[in-house]
Amino acid sequence: MPSKLSVGELIEASEPRFGAVRELDETEGLDQLVLLALARELPFKKARAALRRLKQDFVDWNDVRVTPAHELARGFEGGPPGSAYRKAEELVDLLSTLYLRFNKMTCDVGRTETATPESTKLRSRLMAFLAERSSLYACLMPLFGAKDDDVVASPELTRPLVRLGFVEARASDASARETLLKRTKPGERIAAQFVLHQIASRVCGAKLTLCGECPVASKCPSAKIPVPPPPAKPAAKSSGKPTSKSEKTTSKDKKTTPQKK
């Protein structure tokens, strides 16, 4: 069934719930990765304001890494209830792993002008780590530093495109990528991929779907929204007389035994 949504409507409906990033234009790769982390469940303007505040209030990202999560959470307001502290914990954990495992790597994964065998191997390890954390990171970070907006094929991108009706049920990842390229303008591609990966990870899983929590469920041809049960019928008034068959049988068959003199 064809989609009832345009890509622009998909982005507009999803951003208030899942956040969005519209551009990959930060000067440093690590800044861009942090912005992607902040933008999950935050509108783009609020996420970018939170990034600027962190860079202004702290010496560097290592300083952010060693700061208690409850202090960081004060700058992440504006998302769903409880999301600020959860976001702060995720950011601390992400930065800690990057510093300890990758030795403060700048994450400039899209800039390959000076690629060496060692740097290529390290980037491969980094991308595998990001994929473990979120398909969103693994698909958007390779586009950082690219000259043109592109679409990165992945199963997590294909699944919501199929269910929303943008592509056929058995479409390949490459086919889904080509469809999204044709259906989007250059300025929409980053945001479209962001919200689609958020939908895939939050409400449109491979085995578990939470259609009732999806912001575009009303226009999704695959949505399974539970129907409320019909109202219960009022109970019949009791006449006060025995109505059950067992009661009638007991009353009919009851006999009195004559007493012996």
Query: Of 112, 145, 178, which marks where a domain is finished?
Result: 145
| Higher per-residue pLDDT: 4 or 162 | 162
Task: Let me know whether 81 and 157 are in one domain.
Answer: no
Q: What is the pLDDT of residue 258?
A: 52
Q: How far apart are CA 46 and CA 85, in angstroms?
A: 16
**For residue 50, which phi and psi values (nearest 5 degrees)?**
-65, -40
Task: Let me know whether 7 and 68 are in one domain.
Answer: no
DSSP state of 166: S
Q: Given a cut of 50, is residue 261 above it in pLDDT?
A: no
Q: Given a cut of 80, is residue 218 above it in pLDDT?
A: yes
Q: What is the pLDDT of residue 229?
A: 62
Number of structural domains found in the chain: 2
Length of the chain: 261
Q: What is the pLDDT of residue 83?
A: 80
CATH number at residue 213: 1.10.1670.10
Q: How far apart are CA 40 and CA 21, in angstroms?
A: 9
Q: What is the mean pLDDT of the chain?
A: 83
Task: Let me know whether 72 and 87 are in one domain.
Answer: yes
Q: Give pLDDT tens digits for 131-163.
A: 899 999 989 988 887 777 899 999 999 999 999
Q: Given a cut of 90, is residue 195 above it in pLDDT?
A: yes
Q: What is the pLDDT of residue 248?
A: 46
Task: Let me know whether 43 and 126 are in one domain.
Answer: yes
Q: Given a cut of 90, is residue 82 above it in pLDDT?
A: no
Percent residues over pLDDT 90 in the chain: 45
Range of the domain at 180: 1-13+147-223
DSSP state of 116: -
Tell me, rounded to whole angstroms, the distance of Cα 28 from its chain centroid. Answer: 25
**Which of 37, 36, 41 lies closest to 19 in space, CA to CA?**
41
The mean pLDDT value for 35-56 works out to 90
Within a domain: 162? yes
Element counts in the chain: helices (H) and strands (E) = 12, 0
Query: Of 108, 123, 145, which marks where a domain is finished?
Result: 145
Within a domain: 229? no
**Which of 212, 208, 192 lies closest to 5 in space, CA to CA?**
192
**Given pLDDT bands bounded at 50, 70 and 90, which one contains residue 187?**
confident
The amino acid occupying position 113 is E
Q: What is the pLDDT of residue 167?
A: 93
Q: What is the pLDDT of residue 36?
A: 94
The mean pLDDT value for 186-203 works out to 92
The residue to which tokens 């790597």 are assigned: 105
Question: 3-state DSSP call for residue 162?
Answer: helix
DSSP track, 104-162: S----TT--TT--HHHHHHHHHHHHHHHHH-HHHHHHGGGTT-SS------HHHHHHHH
Task: Let me know whether 169 and 90 are in one domain.
Answer: no
Task: Let me know whether 73 and 102 are in one domain.
Answer: yes
- Residue 119: partners with Cβ closer than 8 Å, 6 or more residues away: none
pTM beyond cutoff 0.85 = no
DSSP track, 200-224: HHHTB-SS-B-GGG-TTGGG-TT--
Task: Let me know whether 140 and 81 are in one domain.
Answer: yes
Task: Let me know whether 29 and 138 are in one domain.
Answer: yes
